[in-house]
Structure 1
Amino acid sequence: MDNLINKLADSQKQFLNLARISIFIVMAWIGGLKAFPYEAEGIVAFVANSPVMSFFYTQEAPAYQEYKNPEGKTVQKNIDWHHQNGTYLYSYALGTVIILIGLLTLSGIWSAKAGLLGGLLTFGMSLVTLSFLITTPEVYVPNLGGDFPTPHHGFPYLSGAGRLVLKDVIMLAAGLICAADCAGRIKRARSAAVIKNRDARTYIEVHN
C-alpha cells in the first residue's frame, strides 16, 4: 500500500498530462462530429433555447421540434429547414472552436501559456454547457400526460440529453485543474527570472 501511495504521489504531473490528453480526445472527437448533420441537428434544442446562443439561428424555439431527424434517418424537408435555420453552418464553426480549445489544452504539456488559455476556455465552455440544465426543456423527463402520465418528470429527473450535459461538471473541474497547473508554472518561471536578474545585477555590482 505504501508503494502505491508513493507511486501515486509521485505521478501527479503525469496524471495532469493525462487529464489534458483526455480533454483533447473529448474535444477533438465531439468537435469533429459537429461536421456531420446528425450531430448538428442534435444540438439545436440546446442552442435554440439558450439566451446567449440562440441568435446564431434564424428560427426561434420551439420551431425546431417539428423538424427533428431521428439519428440514422433523414427527412428532406427537415434538412431543408435546418439549412435555412443555419444549423449546419453554426455546427461547423462550433466544432472548429471546440477542436481548437482541445489543442490549446493539450499544448499545456509543453507550453504553460497556451495551456492556461486552453484550461480557462475549457472551464468557460463547460459553464455554457451546464447552463443548458436551466434553459433547455429537453434535459428533463417530460410529462407525457394522457392515460399513463409519467410518474417521474421535470427536475431532478434527467433525460438522456440531461445526463450528457451534467457530465460537463467533470470537464469544468479538469479545465480549472489544468489551468491552475499552468498558472503555477508561469508563476515559478517568473520568480526564477526575477531571482536570476537580481543575481546578475549583484554580480555586476560586486565586480565593478
Structure 2
Amino acid sequence: MTDERFLPIHDQELLARGERVLGAGFRAMHERVLRVTELTSRLNVLPFDDEAGRTALLEQILGGPVPAGVTIYPPFYTDHGLRLDLAERVFVNQGCTFLDYAGIRLGEGVMVGPKATFITMGHPVDPAERRRFLTGAPIDVAENVWIGAGATILPGVSIGRDAVVAAGAVVADDVPAATLVAGPKGSVLRSW
C-alpha cells in the first residue's frame, strides 16, 4: 500500500499555486479521512487525565512526535493530520477543527481559542465543477499569534507574528503582523 503521506504531494503542490485538483489523490485523501476520523473519535472519548493515551493518538494523527509544550484539549478534529505542522508551545483549546489537506502551519507559541476552525480546502462556486474538483491553499500562522474563540481561517491565509484574530472573525485575507482583526470579514481594527 502507498503511504498516504506522499501520494497526494502533487495535489498539494497544485493547491499551493491556487490550482484545482482532481483524480487519484481523492482516493488516498478519502482513505486518510476515514483513518483520522477513527483516531480522533478515540481521542475525543479518552478520560481527560489520560495524557499518555492522548499523546499516543495525537502522534498517530500527526504522523510523528508531538512537539515540546504542545497542548491540545479534546474534542479535536482534523481531516488529514499529516499536514498539520505544530511548532513548540502551541495551545489548542477544545472543539477546534483543522481541515489540513493543503497544509496548516502554526508557529511557536500560537494560542487557539475554543471552536476555532481552519479550512484549507473548498469547492469551486460553479455547480458543474463542484463535485469534480477541489480548491484550496495552505494556511500559515506565524509565531505568538492568538486566534480567538470561534474564529474561522480560510484557505490561503497568512497571519503575521503577534497578530490577534478576535473571537468569531472570518479571516479570508492575510493578516499583517502585530494587528487585531475582527468582524465577519476579519478587518484590521488597529496595529501596534
Greater percentage in helix: 1
Greater percentage in strand: 2
Larger radius of gyration: 1
**TM-score, normalization: structure 1?**
0.27
